[in-house]
Structure 1
Amino acid sequence: MQKHIIPLFMGAMGIGLTEFIMMGILPDIASSLHISIPLSGHLISAYAFGVVMGAPLILILSNKFAPKQILILLLVMFTIFNALSASTHNYYLLILFRFCAGLPHGCFFGVGAIVAMVLAKPDKKTTAVANMFLGLTLANVIGVPIGTFLSHHFSWNIVFIVVGFIGLITILLSSIFIPNLPKQNTPSSLKNELKVFKKSETWLVLVLCAIGCGGLFAWFSFIGPLMIQETHLKPQFMPYIMSLAGVGMTLGLKLGAFVSDKRSPIFSLIFFMLLLIVSLGCVFLFAHNLYLSLIFVFITGLCSFAYVAPLQVIFIQVFEDSKQLGATLTHGTFNIGNGIGAYLGGLSILYTFSYASPSLAGAGLAFIGLLIAILLAIKTKSSNSLKLRT
């Protein structure tokens, strides 16, 4: 791994931990704050909403600061608000701090993706972005299981203390290893950046990400209650479940990047989104079978992250003249999917009284995303307006 990727990797790991740890500790927070599981799911939506609201920051910051300065500023915000999350036992304050902790999320990945791609070889751009996202998947393989264990046996507040510590380390590494690249935009180009919203491809890829990515979060937001209540797994085994999903996500990220580099990002996206729909359906059908449930935890994790890097590259290519904005909006819209998925998953539980039902809601969202991806592929091919290739 190149040295400039190390702080991007670490930042992604910290962000991945603070975002995905909620899925493992949701029952503990609900018990600690004396609220219901569906109500505690709003903590996931609050973070996602913060990511969405924070995405426009890139338009301001990219005109005033260089990428290295932006990354450090975002990491300072990230560290402060996660530390504050660790300090409270009040539900409404936690909602506020989770929202604020989400603000730098999209900007960090947006700027980080640009740094990774600018410094990568022409035929390794998707792989460079995937190497950054490996930190996010490592958080699921190691960080989330450890955090879940600490939450179950000690306190969920400890998890956010650890995230804050990771933020401090990443600030130091960024100051050392991130090269001093020039500003990506000038004030005069700001109006030109917004012209990208006149293209139909722009709106297709935004809606694709916002809806299609909701499939992952409808399932993963309630994986704890699903495995405990439906599969009848003992709570102490949940760290291993989170790790199993994380291993699948890690392998999926590398596999999706490999297919994208060999074929094209849009092919990789459509292929793995189709597999995700099938896998989510199987999660519902085999929720009461322990061994099959374990298999589909792994497969669903793999499929759900296999299209992350290709989708990031598609965004940057669609936003050809507004690369930082495109890279950032990937995560803004990705977390709209987070919020939609968590909300619809909680709603399905309220109406069906089954913790397996969110996977069906997820399959429905992923199916809509698949149709949009196919439409995007047909449109760009027929108009020859965009080469969705690395």
Structure 2
Amino acid sequence: MPLALLALAVGGFAIGTTEFVAMGLLPEMAATFGVSIPTAGWIITAYALGVVVGAPTLTALAHRYSRKHVLIGLMVLFTLGHVATALAPTFGLLVAARAVSALSHGAFFGASAVVARHLAPPGKQGQAMALAITGLTVANIVGVPLGTALGQQYGWRLTYAVVAGIGLLTIAALALLVPDVRTPSAGLRAELSAFSRAQVWLTMLITVIGFSGLFTVLSYIAPILTDLAGYSPGSVSWLLVLFGVGATAGNLLGGRLADWSVPRTLLLGLCAQTGVFAVFAVAGGRPVVAAAAVFAFGFAGFSMSTAIQTRAIVAAGGGASMVAAAQQAGFNIGNAMGAFLGGLVLDAGLGYRSPMVVAAGLTLTGLAVAALAGWLDRSGRAPLEPAPARPGEPAATTG
């Protein structure tokens, strides 16, 4: 595989660390500013909303430039946002800094997916995309637990300062390793026309609903593990290693499965995820079950990451760049929705089992949407792949 994938993975590591470390440091950040845990959840929600805004906006603004320069520019913005996060003097400014930090997230992963597919040998596009995403999952093995432990011991501000340093390292890696890739583009209007296709929207709906369940639980995993399963606060960072190991293993297997069958990979992953959340809801008070569930929902969730991105790019046809970025926005709409719904049931006093119940319902709904999308494709009512263009005519974009 091309060495350029390593640079993409380093960027994914930085982004994965900052996205998920907040969940382990939520109690510390809440204590710093004297707010409740559900209120502190806005730190997570703001980041997710920043991704939603930034992914399509920055991709549209940057579509004329080479992927290499776009990736470097996005990581510069990411790094500046983390400097602001580490220095934020008030809760409101912290929330704003997290939103700014997130603006480049979706556009970075969207561009990475397109570059990885472009550089991959024939028949190995799924594996290449999985390798590019590996930094995100490895962050949950190394970056998140170490960042959580560092933040608990020396203060959460230091954690975000270190992430800013990783951002600088990423900029150097991108400059040295990524070729000046200019993938074919049909122009902004053609990119946007991909959103007229039903399968593009169905894929985004699978992403939003299916992945929101993961974040309904993961956003509040620290208090779930301490208050429900009985673990000490110091154990949380190391239990998150299990999530990272599961996510990394699931992602690498998912890349191979996506090269085999995208629809089957999605259906299997959503089935497994629903079952894991159901078991966690019933037996999550047992420490061993809780630890196993943390591994399992990481594995099941990230086993689908390459498949869902591949499905989106195939459905988009010539509009791959915008749709790939929009997929990241959809993923983080699910993130924000999950954090909101988890906070809602906790604020209602329904206990720390309630996020898992909500999560199981969400992933089951995502499974139903995936099954519907597959049926519409097979029946010809809404084909996944755009019809090939005739000579001298634009490609079909309706589905």
TM-score, normalising length: structure 1: 0.96
Amino acid at match of 1:270: L
CA distance in 1, matches of 2:184, 2:103: 20
Q: Which residue of 1 aligns with 2:279?
A: 282
Amino acid at match of 2:98: R
In 1, are the aligned partners of 2:192 and 2:322 still within 8 Å (CA)?
A: no
RMSD over aligned Cα atoms:
1.3
Alpha-carbon shift at residue 258 of structure 1 (Å): 1.9
Q: Which runs of 5+ in 1 are unaligned?
A: none
CA distance in 2, matches of 1:87, 1:121: 44
Deviations 1:278-331 (CA, angstroms, capped at 9, x unpaired): 101111111211111111111111111110111111111111111111211111
Q: Which residue of 1 aligns with 2:396?
A: none
- Range with greater deviation from structure 2 (351-360 or 290-299): 351-360
Alpha-carbon shift at residue 59 of structure 1 (Å): 1.5
Q: Which residue of 1 aligns with 2:241?
A: 243
Q: 2:364 matched to 1:360?
A: no
Alpha-carbon shift at residue 227 of structure 1 (Å): 0.4
Deviations 1:115-139 (CA, angstroms, capped at 9, x unpaired): 1100101211011010011100111
Deviations 1:145-184 (CA, angstroms, capped at 9, x unpaired): 0011111111000111111001000101111111012264
Q: Which residue of 2 aligns with 1:327?
A: 324
Q: 2:225 matched to 1:224?
A: no
Q: 2:46 matched to 1:49?
A: no
Match of 1:336 among 333, 338, 341: 333
Alignment of 1:143-162 (within 5 A): 143-162=143-162
Amino acid at match of 1:246: G
Q: Which residue of 2 aligns with 1:271?
A: 268
Amino acid at match of 1:323: A
Alpha-carbon shift at residue 361 of structure 1 (Å): 1.2
Q: Secondary structure at the match of 1:379?
A: helix
TM-score, normalising length: structure 2: 0.94
Alpha-carbon shift at residue 199 of structure 1 (Å): 1.6
Alignment of 1:274-313 (within 5 A): 274-313=271-310
Q: Which residue of 2 aligns with 1:314?
A: 311
Q: Which residue of 1 aligns with 2:107?
A: 107
Which stretches of structure 1, 4 residues or more, deviate above 6 A after TM superposition?
A: none
CA distance in 2, matches of 1:182, 1:276: 37
Q: Which residue of 1 aligns with 2:63?
A: 62
Q: Which residue of 2 aligns with 1:348?
A: 345
Alpha-carbon shift at residue 209 of structure 1 (Å): 1.0
Amino acid at match of 1:372: V
In 2, are the aligned partners of 1:67 and 1:184 still within 8 Å (CA)?
A: no
In 2, are the aligned partners of 1:62 and 1:183 still within 8 Å (CA)?
A: no
CA distance in 2, matches of 1:202, 1:2: 29
Match of 2:204 among 195, 203, 206: 206
In 2, are the aligned partners of 1:151 and 1:159 still within 8 Å (CA)?
A: yes
Deviations 1:320-348 (CA, angstroms, capped at 9, x unpaired): 11111121111100000000000000101
In 2, are the aligned partners of 1:41 and 1:346 still within 8 Å (CA)?
A: yes
Alignment of 1:155-194 (within 5 A): 155-182=155-182, 184-185=184-185, 189-194=187-192
Amino acid at match of 2:165: F
CA distance in 2, matches of 1:289, 1:385: 46
Q: Which residue of 2 aligns with 1:3?
A: 3
CA distance in 2, matches of 1:38, 1:266: 36
CA distance in 2, matches of 1:248, 1:74: 28
Alpha-carbon shift at residue 9 of structure 1 (Å): 0.3
Q: Which residue of 2 aligns with 1:29?
A: 29
CA distance in 2, matches of 1:119, 1:324: 15
CA distance in 2, matches of 1:93, 1:16: 22
**Number of equivalent positions:** 384
CA distance in 1, matches of 2:106, 2:207: 13
CA distance in 1, matches of 2:201, 2:350: 36
CA distance in 2, matches of 1:194, 1:171: 29
Q: Which residue of 2 aligns with 1:141?
A: 141
Q: Which runs of 5+ in 2 are unaligned?
A: 387-399
CA distance in 2, matches of 1:321, 1:253: 26
In 1, are the aligned partners of 2:199 and 2:383 still within 8 Å (CA)?
A: no
Deviations 1:59-93 (CA, angstroms, capped at 9, x unpaired): 22012x11011000000000000111001231000
CA distance in 2, matches of 1:192, 1:142: 40
Alignment of 1:113-128 (within 5 A): 113-128=113-128
Alpha-carbon shift at residue 200 of structure 1 (Å): 1.3
